Structure 1
Amino acid sequence: MHYSSILPDVIKVADEASERVLHIYQSDFKVQYKEDHSPITAADMASHEIIVKGLCSISRDIPVLSEEGEQVPWEERKQWRRFWLIDPIDGTKDFTQRTGEFTVNIALIENGEPVMGVVTAPALKEAFWGLKGEGAYKRDRTGRTHRIHVAEPKDVKRVVASKNHLNDDTRAFIETLGDHETLQAGSSLKFCRIAEGHADIYPRMGLTCEWDTAAAHAVLSAAGGKVQTLHNTPLQYGKEDILNPHFIAAGNWYF
C-alpha cells in the first residue's frame, strides 16, 4: 500500500470527525466520567464512531485501536504488524474547559513506528499531517496549506509544557536546559508546535497512553524531529502495556 495515496482520505475522515466535535463543543454538552475518573463527552464517542467507520472504508484489513473502543486482548494485538491508533479527542479537559486546545488524532503504526499522522484542532481551525519520508504540513485557519519543519534552536530554548500535567520531575528537567522560556499548549498540539518551528522541546515526565502521542509523533518525525525515551531509544507503539514511558520530543539537535 502506498500511504501517500490514502492520506487525503484520512485527512477527510479527520475533518468529518472534527466538524461533528466542533458542533457538540459549541452546544450545551454534558460531561461524564469513566472508571479512571477521566472525563468523556458525546463528542468523544461521535468522533470515535466517525473515524472507525471512515478508516474501515479506507482499508478493511488494517485493525483499529481507539481510546474509546473496546479493549483488544494482547494475544490479538501482538499479531498486528500494522494498525490504526486513534484518540477521538485528545485533551478532553481542554474540551470541557473550553480552551480550544483539544485535538482529533489518527495515526498509522507499522512495526512499532508511527508512519502517518493526522492531527486536527477543530476549535482553532488548524490541521497537521505527516508521512514518513514525505514531510509534514499544516493547514491554517484560512485554509492555506504549507510545509512545516522543526527550527534550529537559539540560545534560549523554547520549552513547551502541559497546561494540566506539569509536575515536579518535568520542572526539574526543564531547569537543566539552561536559558529557556516556557510555552504552554494543550493536548498533542505540543508536538505540533515543535513540528512547525514555534517551540524547541517537549519533555514529558508523566503518564501518557500510546493514542495520546502517536499521530503528533508522526507529524513531528516527518517535520525533522524525534521522540525518544529517557534511555535514548525511539518511543515505540503496539506494546502490551499501552502506557508510554517518560519521553522527550524535540528537533534532532537535542539527541
Structure 2
Amino acid sequence: MSDRRADQSLDHGFAKLLPAVRTIAREAGQVILRYYTDTVTAHVKSDGSPVTAADHAAEAVILPALHHLTPDIPVISEEQHAAGKSPPGDHGIYWLVDPLDGTRSFVEHTGEFTVNIGLVKDGVPVLGVMYLPVDGDLYAAAGPGTAVHCVQGRGDVPISARMVPPDGLVVLSSRRHGDRERLDRFLEGKLVKEHRHSSSALKFCLIARGEVDVYPRFGPTCEWDTAAGHAILLAAGGSIETPDGKPLGYGKPDFLNGEFIAYGRR
C-alpha cells in the first residue's frame, strides 16, 4: 500500500484526505470480491445481523490504512465495535467504518452492497466515501458542493440533490426493513409519484444524485451505517433529520441512530 500519511493540521478542510480514503475503499472492495463466490457463509452476530469473512477481511484493510493516514483520529468500525474493541472515550472527531454494508445482499449476490467510510467532526459527517465493489461505482464528498459520482472508467461527475418535482415525490424504502403502516402515515397528504426499493446505504446516494426525493427510516441503524452516505448527501444539498425536524447527530450512546428521514433539497 502506498504512503498515505496526511498533513495532520486539518486546518484546510478534509478534501485533502479524499484521494487516500477513496483508494482505501477501493482496496477493501477488491478484497471483498475475493469472497463473492457461490458458497458465501454468513454467521449471525448477537444483534441478529449477519457477518461474513469478507466483512472482517475488508475491515482488516481499512483500519490500519486509516490509522496510518490520520494516527490521531480514532476509528469506530462495525465489527471491531461488535467485538468490544472500539476506542474508549468521547471523540470530537472520529472515523466511522462499515466495511461491508448490505451483508445480506452480499450473501444473496444482488450486488447492492457497499464499503462505507465516513469522518465525523463535532457530531456532523464532514467526509464520506462509498464504494460499490461489483460495478465499481464510487461516491465521495468532503463539504458543501463537493459530492461526486465516479463511474468506473469515466471519472468524477458532480452530483446534486433535487427539489421535489411538481408531479410528486419519488420515495425510497428498504427492501428488508420496511414499516408500511408508518410509511403510509408519513406520506399522508403528500403527492407521491413513485415508490422504489433499495438495499444498503446506496439509498443516500440515490437522493444525492437527484433520482429520489425522500427515504424515511423507521427502524434502528448505527452511525457507521449512515455517516458516509450522510456526508455525501449533505454535500449534495440534502439533509437527514429526526422525525421532529432536528438534524441527525453523531456521537450517541453506543453509536445507535433513532428514526430519521433523508431528504433531497427543500
TM range (shorter): over 0.9
Partners of 2:86 and 2:233 lie apart in 1 by 29
Q: For 2:163, which of 149, 152, 158 is the aligned residue?
A: 152
Partners of 1:5 and 1:244 lie apart in 2 by 29
Partners of 1:152 and 1:133 lie apart in 2 by 16
Partners of 2:169 and 2:32 lie apart in 1 by 34
For the residue of structure 1 that corresponds to 2:35, the secondary structure is helix
1:129 paired with 2:140, answer yes
Q: Count matched residues.
A: 251
Partners of 1:4 and 1:116 lie apart in 2 by 8
For the residue of structure 2 that corresponds to 1:44, the secondary structure is helix
Partners of 1:152 and 1:145 lie apart in 2 by 23
Q: For 1:215, which of 228, 233, 252 is the aligned residue?
A: 228
Contact between 2:100 and 2:113, CA under 8 Å: does it hold in 1? yes
TM, length-normalised to structure 1: 0.93
Q: For 2:250, which of 217, 231, 237 is the aligned residue?
A: 237
Moved more, 180-189 or 213-222: 180-189
The match for 1:166 is 178
For the residue of structure 1 that corresponds to 2:80, the secondary structure is coil
Moved more, 176-185 or 5-14: 176-185
For the residue of structure 1 that corresponds to 2:98, the secondary structure is strand
Q: Which runs of 5+ in 1 are unaligned?
A: none
The match for 2:261 is 248
The match for 1:188 is 201
Partners of 1:77 and 1:215 lie apart in 2 by 22
Contact between 2:76 and 2:86, CA under 8 Å: does it hold in 1? no
Summarize the alignment of residues 80-91 of structure 1 with structure 2, pairs less than 5 Å apart. Answer: 80-91=91-102
For the residue of structure 1 that corresponds to 2:66, the secondary structure is helix
For residues 13-34 of structure 1, the C-alpha deviation after alignment (integer angstroms, 9 at most, x for no partner) is 0000011112211453211111
Q: Percent identity between the aligned chains?
A: 40
What is the deviation of 1:176? Answer: 4.0
Contact between 2:210 and 2:264, CA under 8 Å: does it hold in 1? no
Contact between 1:134 and 1:222, CA under 8 Å: does it hold in 2? yes
Partners of 1:174 and 1:25 lie apart in 2 by 38
| Structure 1 stretches of at least 4 aligned residues deviating more than 4 Å after TM superposition | none
Partners of 2:22 and 2:143 lie apart in 1 by 15
Partners of 1:53 and 1:171 lie apart in 2 by 44
The residue type paired with residue 209 of structure 1 is: C
Contact between 1:159 and 1:174, CA under 8 Å: does it hold in 2? no
The match for 1:16 is 27
Partners of 1:130 and 1:177 lie apart in 2 by 31
For residues 161-208 of structure 1, the C-alpha deviation after alignment (integer angstroms, 9 at most, x for no partner) is 101111131243234423331111111011000001111111111111
Q: For 1:57, which of 30, 46, 68 is the aligned residue?
A: 68
The match for 2:51 is 40
TM, length-normalised to structure 2: 0.90
Partners of 2:208 and 2:129 lie apart in 1 by 13
Q: Which runs of 5+ in 2 are unaligned?
A: 1-9
Partners of 1:175 and 1:22 lie apart in 2 by 42
Contact between 1:20 and 1:43, CA under 8 Å: does it hold in 2? yes
Partners of 2:43 and 2:143 lie apart in 1 by 37
The match for 1:25 is 36
The residue type paired with residue 199 of structure 1 is: V
Distance 1:185 1:178, change over 3 A: same
The residue type paired with residue 149 of structure 2 is: K
Contact between 1:201 and 1:251, CA under 8 Å: does it hold in 2? yes
Distance 1:22 1:176, change over 3 A: farther
